[in-house]
A = this chain, B = another copy of it.
Amino acid sequence: MTMPALKNDRFLRALLRQPVDQTPIWIMRQAGRYLPEYRETRARAGSFMDLCKNADLACEVTLQPLERYELDAAILFSDILTIPDAMGLGLRFVQGEGPVFDKPVRSAADVAAIGIPDPEGELQYVMNAVRTIRVALDGRVPLIGFSGSPWTLATYMVEGGSTKDFAKIKGMMYAEPALLHQLLEKVADAVVLYLNAQIAAGVQAVQIFDTWGGVLSPDKYREFSLQYMNRIVAGLNRESEGRKVPVILFTKGGGAWAEDIAASGCDAIGLDWTADIGAIRRKVGDKVALQGNLDPSVLYGSPEIIEAEVAKVLASYGVGSGHVFNLGHGIHQHVDPHNVKVLVDAVHKLSRPYHAQFEY
């Protein structure tokens, strides 16, 4: 099947630090609870995982924010916990508590029992969603695929859910590091298969969400998180449909480690809002693009405040390509959807002077 030509490739070009006319923007969790139409579809779908597993509904919510805003990319509607769910750990979402695994991974026997899910088997619903979305997108903007990082997925698998102090997985890290490495290897193998299958199914860029890498000390981050993201980057099919498939690594709280992350071979680093994007560009901007990094809470401000804060991030990054605008973390559910339009339009309008030298 031949895919329709891409009408807006600003996002892919910026990730490869090729010239663009204006800074592209997408928003982490752009298809989400802040949109009334999302809440309506979600209510129809049943549970959150029911929504993820229904290709038509996942496609519907993926496209919803594109109908409202001039976003430069779509992101597959799914969850980072699809892999541990497919591993049979018994995922449930508990109101007010978040994800819970009935069969957490704690012992050597638990780790040994884990199988690598078949992306076109237990996880075929994800690939079906990708295929459905690509057809529906009709080349409007590129589609982003994603996965959790091995460390981040392992935190949920070992803790059995969300945690504040990461006592169980860090207990394993300090008391049984070899066991944790075995687990991380398996998860990394699963992620490589999963992302390559997403690429084969049609995603045009991938992001690895290392939501919890930032809770580690620098040396443990390199050993238990970054090392496995490096392996994934090395194992991905980086070309599809005649174009490079860029890889974005996002470690929340990882701004201080940008030089290590850039050395992974990724194309771009996602930054949260505690990072100084200008200072990081001066360190690694000749190696990778940068994505981010507005504080999601700025969207509680007035249009004037939002524009002023957007202007600061753009000025901090400075002139030229290599910047994909985003929030520093997922959009909050209580944000006024109108403010998102203010944000997207401000990024496009205010970024043009920084690309004045633009020529294809």
Complex: chain B residue closest to A328, CB-CB:
B217
CB distance from A170 to the nearest CB of B (A): 3
Q: Is A256 an interface residue (CB 8 A)?
A: yes
A305 CB contact (under 8 Å) in B174, B297, B301: B174
Query: Which residues 200-230 of A sit at the B interface, judged by CB distance below 8 A?
Result: 214-221
- Whether the pair B253, A255 counts as a contact (CB closer than 8 A) is no
Cβ contact of A295, chosen from B170, B275, B276, B300, cutoff 8 A: B170
- Are A273 and B217 closer than 8 Å at their CB atoms? yes
Quick one: which of B173, B175, B309 contacts A302, CB cutoff 8 A?
B175
Q: Can you report 25 residue pairs joining A to B where beta carbons are below 8 Å apart?
A: A165-B296, A165-B297, A167-B297, A167-B332, A167-B334, A170-B297, A173-B297, A174-B298, A174-B300, A174-B301, A174-B309, A175-B300, A175-B302, A214-B274, A216-B274, A216-B295, A217-B274, A217-B295, A217-B328, A218-B274, A220-B295, A221-B274, A255-B256, A256-B274, A256-B275
Question: Quick one: copies of this chain in the complex?
Answer: 2
User: Which among A174, A215, A300 has the greatest number of chain B C-beta atoms within 10 A?
Assistant: A174
Chain B: minimal CB distance from A43 (Å): 23
Partner of A274, one of B166, B253, B298, B328: B253
- A143–B293 Cα distance when bound, in Å, is 42
Complex: A165 Cα to B298 Cα, angstroms: 12
Residues 256-308 of A at the B interface (beta carbon under 8 Å) = 256, 273-276, 295-298, 300-302, 305
